[in-house]
Structure 1
Amino acid sequence: MSDRARASLARVLDDLGTTLLDLVHPVAERPQEIGGVVIHDRLDEPVLPPHALVLGVGLETEDDVVALLGRLGRERALALVVRAPVPAGPAVREAADRAGICLLGLSRGVPWAHLAALLRSLLAEGDVGADGPQSLGGLPAGDLFAVANAIAALMDAPVTIEDRSSRVLAFSGRQNEADASRVETVLGRQVPEPVRELLARRGVFRDLHRSHDPVLVDPVTFAGVVQLPRLAIVVRAGDEVLGSIWATVTGPLGEARIQAFGEAAKLVALHMLRVRAGADGQRRMRTDLLSTALTGGAGATDALGRLGLAGSPLLVLAVVGDDEQERLGDAFAMHLSAVHPRAVAATIGGVTYGLVPMRPDQVPGADERAARLARDFLDRVGERLGPVAAVGPVAPDLAGLVRARTATDRVLRVLRENPRGRRVAGLDEVQAESLLLELRDQVAARGDRPSGALLRLAEYDQTHGSFLVVTLRAWLDAFGDVIAAAASVPVHPNTFRYRLRRVTELGGIDLTDAEQRFALMLQLRVHRLPESGT
């Protein structure tokens, strides 16, 4: 049996900690493998296996917890779970340290039965053979399509399981028996926006989230046709809404079926948590390995090997958006996997990096293909999330991979701070702008201020409310074309010529001197000066 297959306390916290459990008081140097899950009963104290995880149902006071910790320490238990808020004063913490027991808090609203079922399912992995899939409620754990079909058979109606944003996670068979909106929902894996807006206006989502029982949803009109009614229920894990189940019904339902539909939501919650736990675990491992590879140093070679990328030239890309980076990253990972099955993507520090392995004969022209790949992805996701993409150089080895990651970071900064209509770029396209940004950072870090002619002009503008710095910047940007520069400000060309004479007089500037022009252009880009004298 593998370490992963046998549940440890660390794995329980990884899989369930974000939603159900909180580590209140850790204890160092304790066995991590859980020997069993036991529910505490003060009237009929159970026999504990070694390293038991004990569910402290009904514990309310510090005295209750301290007394139980003393007994659990004598029986070599591993951890105690208490309903939040956990009474964890000095006496409790001292008792936990003395007993060598970790203290966990169970979130408010989470049924003890849900927690016990999840813990026992984690503990059971591998106990029925390494090749057999884990099951929950007699169905393969995490197989939401199997769950949807089971509920459909129970209800004699086609069913969808949806997330909180009405995206379809799974659907049953017999969808041809439903209506047009359900067909479009299944095909698009998303409830049509007009239907969702209508349900929201009717208060359907509000009623669903307030109720713990199934809600009968009256028919809506879609594409000019009245659709069938729905029976819906929210799927919860404690106080957290995970999603919902929707059954298309054609007639009245008996009380027994409605009750069964409500019970099904509890099973769906377990499967959805298992799916999320597995996805989160895979995402964390992929992120850790990719982060190690991109930073180089000890462990980087091994990380590339575990990612299945060792020995290949690697194309490096990166994407970042204004919002919902995790969702953008998942979409990017799917996009890359369609191009190459061994491609890997993960979000690190708010940026999603992607590595695509290449054959040596594919390296020439790789940057152009990568740019097309990035543009195709951005076209698919649209502009709502404000995404931009950087194309790094092909990395022939580990040192090249670190340099390529640095290059993509530099490109992304330029695209975020000065996009100029660009959504995809490589370093060769923005290198000068990247150098200016780095120079601006150094100038700001040293606290340097404008000097010489530029300082004199800036001070004159501030005192007199004039626009000499703006005039100089416009003239330099227009390469000395007075007509174009005047139009960009905008003022009459004669007014612009007058201001330009004042620039040369007050600043003591010779605009025919190339060195002076370059120095002024550089200062104007690295110092943040006001756009006008007002």
Structure 2
Amino acid sequence: MTSGTKGSGPDHVTLRQILDHDEEGVLRLLLAPTGQDVTVVGVVIGDEEPARTHAGRIVLAAGLPPDPATAGTAVREAARRGASALVLREQEGAPLPAQALAAAEECGIALLVRASWADWGDALALLRSATAFAAAGRDDLMADATTGGLAALAAATARLCRGSITVEDPQFRVLAHSATGPEADGLRRSTILGGRVPEWRVAELRRSGLVQTLRTSGDVIHRAADGDTPERLVVAVRGGGEMLGSLWAAADGRRLSPDAAQVLRRAAALAVPHLLRHRMRESGTLRREAHALRGLLHGSGDRRAHLWSLGLTPDVPCAVVVGVRASPEEPGSEDRTLEALAVQATALRPDARVLREVDTIAVLLPAHDGGQPRHDAGQPGDALALARELDALAARTPGAPPVWTGAGGTVGSGLDASLSYEEALLVVRALRDREGRGRDAHPVRSAGPDQVGATIEALRMLDAVRPVWESGTGPVHELIRTDLAAGGELVRSLAAYLETPGDVASAARRLTLHPNTLRYRLRRVRERFGVDLDDPDTRLVVTLAVRLSGMP
């Protein structure tokens, strides 16, 4: 796939401009044999069109396998087809193949790597934003505003429109605004002070159809004065057909200039690179924090760098809370449930860091809040309290699948967060195991390690003995394998009998059977498979085998 980067100005950008624009560190330059002022006129993703030239383009090596020889070949091929630069994916903890560096030096092509926390979409967004800045106005009265950020653009637009300007994102959050004078209406003042358009106003705009018109219109929309609400003009800021935000001009205390609509159109064009950069920063920050949190929880990569990315220092104790959902019956319900739990976690603990994965949320609780020590933060009770809050929320969410929440123990540093995370996962596993085997009269779906310590130890032992069991043979193996293939009737009966322990009447009640039926099944175990449950060693092996079978 090949895409150009043409805009309303120059249709190119230099490698130096791209790197200067890259405040988030999406790309890292390794080698530029011909200098950083090489021109980039477009981007190629992967190698989907082998016959097309790469002249002047930057090649994103998406899908390239992590093979040193392959990387060197990709560099040579990109150079042969005229590419200005090639971007490889950074393998965290692994050096770049020497073959690639040698090939770049020999062929005279710039070589870069994409940060491990970023994806190819981030690289594309960076190129798009850098090119938009390079193409921004160079020939009108507002050109100087492009270098001063959104605030300078809002001020210049307000001066030319003779009104007040706000720049908003698609969620109607204020990104920048011009000075607010004493004549400003109440709506503008509340919007500026609150950092976003009030909810009641957004609802009103939706009912009136203006929001839909704004998302689809390509021109300035006029809103006549209405009582105390002055005349307003609004225009969507679009990049590549996508709405990036909007500009609003309000006639505060005087009429807007006759050419206000024309000024607003030009301002919207100049706002494109700024809003692209804002979106890139926002998404880049989220991706980098998610990457850092995932690295901490899984104990991978540079854990100290991960901590700094999250704004934490190594001397801050922490604990981890994990929520795991069951497979939902209703498609999409898992997303709503886990999203609600993530929001609740940050609402209860604003300093919490939350990672959403497929069927799990993990919450890192640092022992501080806003830089101030918390006497309860990071303590076992604090993590357990959050686990119980999330459990209560999941339980009262209509139609939500079951969710188990576990609190890990406190560790002295975020560098060891993976230990708390592993323990929290074990707590969840213990809760699910106990519920599956009917150990609790009522389902218990939140706990800390102290509440399920014995079950955690049993699970660890079962994990340790599993390889021994799976490599063995004998009557018990034959019993388990044959019965599971037939539906597991004997295994379930053995589980209940061993859990009671050995009380036929209690086990029969648990299975909803007549005691004689259970006695008959136990005789079958002895007569058919030669398994003697009266022998202590055999009973131990059968107990382990039944637990390892996964049958409740």
Name the TM-score class by shorter chain.
Answer: 0.5 to 0.7
Indicate the residue corresponding to 1:54 in structure 2: 39
Residue by residue over 1:109-161, the C-alpha shift from the partner in whole angstroms, topping out at 9 and shown as x without a partner, is: 9999964343589xxxxxxxxxxxxx9647645x69x9599779959689683
**1:393 is the counterpart of 2:393:** no
1:118–1:270 Cα contact (<8 Å) kept: yes
- What is the letter of the counterpart of residue 270 of structure 1? P
Matches within 5 A, 1:270-419: 270-283=273-286, 286=289, 300=303, 309-310=312-313, 312=315, 314-319=317-322, 322-323=334-335, 331=343, 335=347, 338=350, 352-357=362-367, 362=375, 366-376=379-389, 389-396=405-412, 401-411=417-427
Which position in structure 2 is the counterpart of 1:125? none
Instruction: Give the deviation of 1:527 after TM superposition.
Output: 1.0
Change (3 A) 1:469 1:385: closer
The question of whether the paired residues in 2 share the 8 Å contact of 1:407 and 1:427 is answered with yes
CA distance in 2, matches of 1:106, 1:371: 38
Following TM superposition, by how much is the alpha carbon of 1:249 offset from its aligned partner in structure 2, in angstroms?
11
Q: For 1:20-419, what aligned pairs fall within 5 Å after superposition?
A: 29-30=31-32, 51-52=36-37, 54-56=39-41, 80=57, 93-96=80-83, 98-101=107-110, 115-118=130-133, 137=146, 140-141=149-150, 161-163=168-170, 166=171, 168=173, 176-177=186-187, 186-187=197-198, 205=212, 210-214=216-220, 234-243=236-245, 257-283=260-286, 286=289, 300=303, 309-310=312-313, 312=315, 314-319=317-322, 322-323=334-335, 331=343, 335=347, 338=350, 352-357=362-367, 362=375, 366-376=379-389, 389-396=405-412, 401-411=417-427
Q: State the Cα deviation string for residues 334-368 of structure 1 (Å, max 9, x = none).
A: 558745xxx76667997645251369995899201
Q: 1:456 aligns with which of 469, 473, 479?
A: 479
- Is 1:450–1:523's contact at 8 Å kept on the other side of the alignment? no
1:506 to 524, 534, 540: 524
Q: CA deviation at 1:99?
A: 4.4
Distance 1:427 1:390, change over 3 A: same
Name the CA shift for 1:423/1:498 in 2 (closer, same or farther; >3 Å): closer
Answer whether contact 2:234 2:247 (CA < 8 A) is retained: yes
Distance 2:453 2:308 in 1: 32
Aligned equivalents of 2:337, 2:76: Cα separation in 1: 39
The alpha carbon displacement at 1:271 in A equals 3.3
RMSD of aligned Cα (Å): 6.6
Check conservation: 1:229, 1:249, Cα contact below 8 A.
yes
Q: Give the secondary-structure state (helix, strand or coil) at the position aligned to 1:372.
A: helix
**Post-superposition shift, 1:507?**
0.6
Structure 1 position 501, deviation (Å):
1.4
Do residues 523 (structure 1) and 545 (structure 2) align? yes
Measured after TM superposition, the shift of residue 317 of structure 1 is 1.6
Q: Distance in 2 between matches of 1:304 and 1:473?
A: 46
Residue 514 of structure 2 aligns to a residue in which SS? helix
Question: Normalising by the residue count of structure 1, what TM-score does the alignment of the two structures yield?
Answer: 0.55
Residues 92 and 366 (structure 1), Cα distance of their counterparts in 2 relative to 1, 3 Å cut: closer
Determine if contact 2:32/2:108 at 8 Å carries over to the other structure.
no
Give the 3-state SS of the residue equivalent to 1:212 in structure 2: coil
Q: Is the 8 A contact 1:235 1:243 kept in 2?
A: yes
Give the direction of change, closer, same or farther, for the CA distance of 1:270–1:151 in structure 2 (3 Å limit): farther
Which letter does structure 1 place at the counterpart of 2:109?
Answer: G
Query: How many angstroms apart in 1 are the aligned matches of 2:148 and 2:381?
Result: 47
Give the superposition deviation at 1:506. Answer: 0.4
Give me the whole-angstrom Cα distance separating, in 1, the residues matched to 2:433 and 2:165: 49
Report the counterpart of residue 449 of structure 2 in structure 1.
427
Does the CA-based 8 Å contact 2:490-2:525 persist in structure 1? no
**Offset of 1:282 from its aligned partner?**
4.2
Residue in 2 that maps onto 1:35: none
The aligned counterpart of 2:97 is none
Q: Deviations over 1:301-347 (max 9, x none)?
A: 676578775563502224457548997898589558745xxx76667
Find the aligned partners of 1:461 and 1:402 in 2 and give their Cα distance.
Answer: 36
| Aligned AA (2:219) | D
Q: Distance in 2 between matches of 1:320 and 1:471?
A: 32
Contact 1:454 1:507 in 2 (8 A): no
- What is the letter of the counterpart of residue 447 of structure 2? A
Moved more, 261-270 or 411-420: 411-420
Q: Taking structure 1 as reference, are residues 216 and 462 closer, same or farther at Cα in structure 2, changes over 3 Å only? A: farther
2:366/2:377 contact within 8 Å kept: no
TM-score (normalizing by structure 2): 0.54
Query: Is the 8 Å Cα contact of residues 287 and 346 (structure 1) preserved in structure 2?
Result: yes
Partner of 1:132: none
CA distance in 2, matches of 1:515, 1:379: 43
Whole-Å separation in 2 of the counterparts to 1:427 and 1:299 = 28
> Structure 1 432/504 Cα, relative in aligned 2: closer, same or farther at 3 Å?
same
Question: Residues 395-447 of structure 1, C-alpha deviation per residue, up to 9 Å, x if partnerless?
Answer: 23588555334323434555688888555433333445555656359737975
Residues 112, 282 of structure 1: alpha-carbon distance in 2 compared, 3 angstrom cutoff: closer
**Which residue number corresponds to residue 75 of structure 1?**
none
With over 3 angstroms needed to count, the CA separation of the structure-2 counterparts of 1:63 and 1:345, relative to structure 1, is closer
Consecutive unaligned residues in structure 2, runs of 5 or more: 1-14, 61-74, 84-103, 114-119, 137-143, 325-333, 436-441
Q: Is the 8 A contact 1:159 1:245 kept in 2?
A: yes
SS at match of 1:428: coil
Look up the equivalent residue of 1:410 and give its one-letter code. L
Asked if the contact 2:376/2:382 (under 8 Å) is kept, the reply is: no
Q: 3-state SS of the aligned residue for 2:274? A: helix
Distance verdict in 2 for CA 1:249–1:237, change over 3 Å: same
Q: Distance in 1 between matches of 2:401 and 2:259?
A: 45
Does the 8 A contact of 1:233 with 1:265 survive in 2? Answer: yes
8 A contact 2:304–2:415 mirrored in 1? no
Structure 1 vs Structure 2: percent identity of aligned residues? 20
